[in-house]
Amino acid sequence: MSTVKTHSYDVIVIGAGHNGLVAAATLARAGKRVLLLERSQQMGGAMATAEISPGYRVSTAAHMIDALPPRLERQLRLKKYGLRYGKQPLLTMALNRDGKHLTLPAGNKPMEGLSASDGEAYIRFARQREGLARLLSHAMAQRAGDNLGHSLQRLIWRAAFMRHVAIGELTQFAPARLGDILDREFESPLLKGALALDALIGQAEGPYEPGTALQLLHKTSQRQGGARQRVPLGGLGALAEALCGAILARGGEIRPGVEVSKIIVHGGHAAGVETASGEKITAAQVLSCIDARTTMLDLVGAACLDTGLAKSFRQIRHRGATAKINLALDGLPTIAGLAPALAGSRFLIVPSLKELDEACLAFRRGGLTTEPPMEVHLPSVNDATLAPDGQHVISIIVQYVPHDVTGGWNTAHEKLVQNVVQTLTLYMPDIASRIVAGEVLTPPDIEMKYSLTQGDWHHGVLDMARLLTLKPAALMEGYGSTIPGLYLGGAAAMAGGISGSAGEAAARAMLKGRA
Amino acid sequence: MKRHDAIVIGAGVNGLTAAAYLARSGLRVLVLDRNARAGGGDMGYEIAPGFRLSRFALGHMGLPSGIVTDLDLARHGLRFLRAEGGVTMRPDGSYLASYRDGDVQRRELARHSARDADAFIRYRRDKLADAQRLAPLLTGGMDDVVGRNFSAFRRRLALAGKLGAMGPADIIEASRIWTQSMAQTLDDYFENDLVKAHLAGPALMGATLGPSSQTGASRLITGFLGLQGRGAQDAAAGLPDHVMPLGGPDALLDALRHAIEAAGGSLRLEAEVTDVMIRDSRVRGVVLADGEEIEADAVLSDLDLKRSFLGLFQWKDLPDGLVTKTGAFRTTGAVAKINLALDGLPSFPSLPQGCGAIAGGLMLGTSLDEMDRAYDDWRDGLPPRGPLIQAFLPSLTDSTLAPQGKHVMSVMLQFVPQTLYEGDWTVARRTELTKRVMDRLAEISPDLDRLVIASELLLPGDMENEAGLTAGDLAQGEMTLDQMFVNRPFAAGGSYETPLRNFYICSSSAHPGTLAAGMAGANAAARILSMGRKRAAS
């Protein structure tokens, strides 16, 4: 028997974003001695609640949970550690300038406010989308080591028993341009624009680029199985706190302000980390939840990697396409045609596919569009703790904002805010007069503040090649990294908004002891 | 009234190929075309007396060797010429050429980047392997592997089993090439902008995708598809040759025509089919513009999908949903052409004396970024500010195409919208486009302008009017992944048969589209013949 080596920890988790926190909590719950290291003082990464002006607090980066499974919340007892939601379920609405807004239902429920033909088309489309998304999730559950033939045959069997969708539709739908599909199905410009924005938000591609239909399916598949968009009371920082609580309660250790500079590889096996201050911490296993490219090329180093593997990490392209604007308001803005009770919904703002496409063309040319597409949320409507009495905060994700804007951000900064406020005024006429304070995060700001290369939420462009393999390097097996003992659990390993899914999957793979 | 076993509407390469296969099997075949010249998008013409070239296409034109052998086209006078090379030139005097010989090619690449010269060996090997994986899918129909019946289900399971036999590395490579963008793939191998542009330019010609559009990478392998036998065995070779028929496109079309006539078939030009006759929900024949009716057991259409269904039928006769499905098939024009007759060979001062690579064509060098901007302009409906320009001098290789010492030149312009956002393609806008292109060409060949005897600009709209190509789409339907294989011509309905009995699609609107010339015609004919055999046996 070989000598038993004792390590200070069973697992070191690098990066306390949603994936890192979920992974550490899952491992701690399974009885592992876990150490979570985070470079900044703040836990949560893009899940952060901060004060933008005295008394006004808002989720500064991400502003919604995208798909955290309710099962995971129960398992990690997040309620016990303080996670609460508002009473209202979060509705998604496409705002219309004439006050006739559309509410986008979840799943394949009928939608109101559409013409008869659009209404029928919507049901048909939603069924097809749900069916194809289910097929896609089965296809994506495929691991690199599985026999492809068997997996495909299983997929074909499944498809044979699905009522609303045939396998042939997947071959046509997935590589198509989302805009073409929506143009074929629907009349309403507002509906088409909203469906496309919902699918593409955070992405660097326009609605008329091939493969964007696959992104719609990917979004749909994420939201299946009960996971839906929610906003915790106290903003997304509250989720980070609850997860920290779950880790600490199970004996896990959290150290903020510690930057990992190197992953120690000993005898071909990950053996711990070295911090920027020179401290060496040993562990039986290491799980990195920061982006895969940085992990493998900077922390591990190309010298420890097979040439082909190093290259495939170098190929991960980062391309941010969003800005974030948070504003403090001295009262609830009026939204034409909307009951104040619904003011806490998630608003999609884009009049049609044409505007979305034009915004993307401007983005591709390095410029800003005058009427940017946006996802807007007023969290203080359902959560009075965020702003002083009667006052509000508004959180805006602006879509198609280039990282390297023509002319530089010094001059473009003002223009971005101006465009956003002017566009919002078309829907909320009194918004400009209500602004008392604000914060603007351009893609370079997001990059700096939240350690997201190029301001890219997804740790790398979510293109078809990546979605279909959902691994940063297709050569890798599952969530392991081909270095025994090192696992990857960042968004690059399994993308999909604030969901913790990559972290959880990596933690489970570690617990099963498979790579 | 005359009777035929089969009528082919449209004398393009696919229509003539289909007809030749059917005639060879003993069917009485008639090919009808509304134009005075055969060829459709591939027709040739005389731009000035004695100056002949391809009217709409660049002029590189091959046929799969299987078709040439099957139809014994050599006996009917068809000879192919091979032109080596192709050179991308930049206004600053730098250039990059293609060579057949692997060592020469690598030396040429090494002038720009030693790393890229090494990478080229891997690039060529990988793309050739991709082409070899693709080649077997081109022959035969996609059949109905996507249907909902039991036999289709079984065929799918069998196909999945076969795919599973591929190694994991093959699967990863195959999924990359069909999902990645051209820029991603080229970035994976190369570092030099000129090298990337040189490889991307020809692959982008005719595309409705930009270099950074997903799924575009597969276009890079089409150049290697012709390399099945000879070139494929030589692992250390350079870039593939360009193939062209001796005597221009008309020579190839004439050989096909002779093959049809030798087997008892016939071709009638200036015979426009205006209607297809339907009786008892079966297609029975066609009606010509002058009212003449011709009956046939099978009618094949070499027109694109839209012209086939929306143009030849009364819409009320079509089965439910067919009009919608046909409407959903995207035909989009993106190329224009300038044809030139030249009084002599233009000089290219930046090229070394006697550089043979010019015979393979020349391209004006830009970068992938500039190509992306040209694509964005096209999407915006703007007249091209910086079009991709690719030119070819077929008379350098084939002296029969122009009088002694004189030349013809094909100039293809990529990313030219069919309709402009700002209005019609007026005479002024046409002149401006021609001028812009000639100015760009003057940067690499200062005396070109002086040598022009005749010049003609053909826009997507002209291609639509003259060759009957909807929207001026030379591919008869966008070649994007959602319109290829099992999804060509219909979503999840890749077939040559149509919902109308006895009516078949044999044009590029059907699989494999432009991946292999004449293949859709050959496949459609094979389908009809196999059905005939089944019927005879039962």
Local confidence band at B247 (pLDDT 50, 70, 90 cut-offs) = very high
pLDDT given for residue A170 in this prediction = 84
Q: Does residue A201 surpass a pLDDT of 70? A: yes
Instruction: With respect to residue B382, please indicate whether it lies within any of the assigned structural domains.
Output: no
Q: Does residue A384 surpass a pLDDT of 90? A: yes
- Token couple for B293: 């009716």
Instruction: With respect to residue B195, please indicate whether it lies within any of the assigned structural domains.
Output: yes
- Mean pLDDT across chain A, nearest whole number? 89
Range from A223-237, A488-502, B425-439, B519-533 that averages highest in pLDDT: B425-439
- A149 with B146: Cβ contact below 8 A: no
Instruction: With respect to residue B454, please indicate whether it lies within any of the assigned structural domains.
Output: no
Local confidence band at A2 (pLDDT 50, 70, 90 cut-offs) = very low
Local confidence band at A476 (pLDDT 50, 70, 90 cut-offs) = very low
**DSSP letter assigned to residue B100:** S
- B171 with A176: Cβ contact below 8 A: no
Instruction: With respect to residue B172, please indicate whether it lies within any of the assigned structural domains.
Output: yes
Q: Does residue A475 surpass a pLDDT of 50? A: no
Local confidence band at A109 (pLDDT 50, 70, 90 cut-offs) = confident
B480–chain A Cβ distance below 8 A for any pair: yes
Q: Does residue A474 surpass a pLDDT of 70? A: no
Owning domain of residue B187: 117-232
Q: Which candidate in B126, B177, B215 is best for mutational testing of the A interface (most A CBs within 10 A)? A: B215
Min mean pLDDT across A467-471, B187-191, B195-199 is at A467-471
Residues B155 and B219 in one domain: yes
Local confidence band at A4 (pLDDT 50, 70, 90 cut-offs) = very low
- A168 with B187: Cβ contact below 8 A: no
Which of the two residues, B259 and A316, has the higher pLDDT score? B259
Residues B211 and B271 in one domain: no
Q: Does residue B1 surpass a pLDDT of 60? A: no
The CATH number of residue B286's host domain is: 3.50.50.60
Tell me how long chain B is: 538
Local confidence band at A515 (pLDDT 50, 70, 90 cut-offs) = very low
Local confidence band at A304 (pLDDT 50, 70, 90 cut-offs) = confident
Q: A510: which residues sit within 8 A by CB, 6+ positions away? A: A11, A27, A285, A287, A487
- Per-residue pLDDT, averaged over B266-277, amounts to 97
- Give the start-to-end residue ranges of the domains of chain A: 4-48+67-84+234-317+459-512, 109-222, 322-401+406-441
Residues B228 and B259 in one domain: no
- Per-residue pLDDT, averaged over B140-168, amounts to 71
B321–chain A Cβ distance below 8 A for any pair: no
Q: Which candidate in B123, B126, B179, B511 is best for mutational testing of the A interface (most A CBs within 10 A)? A: B179
Of B162, B181, B215, the CB nearest to A175: B215
Residues of B in contact with A184 (CB under 8 A): 328
Query: How far is CA A426 from its chain centroid?
Result: 28
Q: Does residue B388 surpass a pLDDT of 70? A: yes
Q: Which candidate in A125, A155, A172 is best for mutational testing of the B interface (most B CBs within 10 A)? A: A172
Residue B26 CA to residue A112 CA, distance in Å, equals: 61
B218–chain A Cβ distance below 8 A for any pair: no
CATH of A4-48+67-84+234-317+459-512, picked from 1.10.3720.10, 3.50.50.60, 3.30.70.20, 2.40.70.10, is: 3.50.50.60
Which of the two residues, A21 and B490, has the higher pLDDT score? A21
Instruction: With respect to residue B411, please indicate whether it lies within any of the assigned structural domains.
Output: no
Instruction: With respect to residue B439, please indicate whether it lies within any of the assigned structural domains.
Output: no
Q: Strands, E, within A133-250: which ranges?
A: none
Number of domains forming the structure of chain B: 2
Min mean pLDDT across A107-111, A250-254, B434-438, B446-450 is at A107-111
Q: Is residue A9 packed enough to be buried (19+ CB in 10 Å), middle (13-18) or exposed (0-12)?
A: buried
Min mean pLDDT across A154-158, A388-392, B291-295 is at A154-158
Q: Does residue A426 surpass a pLDDT of 70? A: yes
Q: Are B460 and B494 in contact (CB under 8 A)?
A: no
Q: What is the 3-state secondary structure (H, E, C) of A441-509?
A: ECHHHHHHHHCCHHHCCCCCCCCHHHHHHCCCCCCCCCCECCCCCEEECCCCCCCCCCCCHHHHHHHHH
pLDDT given for residue A138 in this prediction = 76
- Mean pLDDT across chain B, nearest whole number? 92
ipTM: 0.90
Residues B146 and B174 in one domain: yes
How far apart are the CA of A395 and the nearest CA of chain B, in angstroms?
Answer: 31
CB-CB neighbours of B308 under 10 Å: 30
Instruction: With respect to residue B85, please indicate whether it lies within any of the assigned structural domains.
Output: no
Give the global pTM. 0.93
Of the candidates A349, A332, A338, A344, the one whose C-alpha atom is nearest the C-alpha of residue A434 is: A332
B187–chain A Cβ distance below 8 A for any pair: yes
Residue type, A277: S
How far apart are the CA of B175 and the nearest CA of chain A, in angstroms?
Answer: 7
Residues B169 and B253 in one domain: no
The HSE-up count of residue A261 (CA atoms within 13 Å, CB side) is: 7
pLDDT given for residue B142 in this prediction = 66
Q: Does residue A5 surpass a pLDDT of 60? A: no
Q: Hey, what's the torsion of the CAs at B96, B101, B103, B109, to 10 degrees?
A: 10
Query: How far is CA B359 from its chain centroid?
Result: 20
Q: Does residue B412 surpass a pLDDT of 50? A: yes
Q: Which candidate in A464, A470, A476 is best for mutational testing of the B interface (most B CBs within 10 A)? A: A464
Q: Does residue A310 surpass a pLDDT of 60? A: yes
% of chain A with per-residue pLDDT over 70: 92
Residues B153 and B190 in one domain: yes
How far apart are the CA of A143 and the nearest CA of chain B, in angstroms?
Answer: 11
B342 forms bridges with which residues in the sheet?
B407, B452
pLDDT given for residue B283 in this prediction = 95
Residues B202 and B135 in one domain: yes
Interface residues on A facing B, Cβ-Cβ cutoff 8 A: 144-145, 147-153, 155-156, 160, 166-169, 171-177, 180, 184, 205, 208-211, 213, 311, 315, 317, 357, 361, 364-365, 463-465, 468-469, 474-475
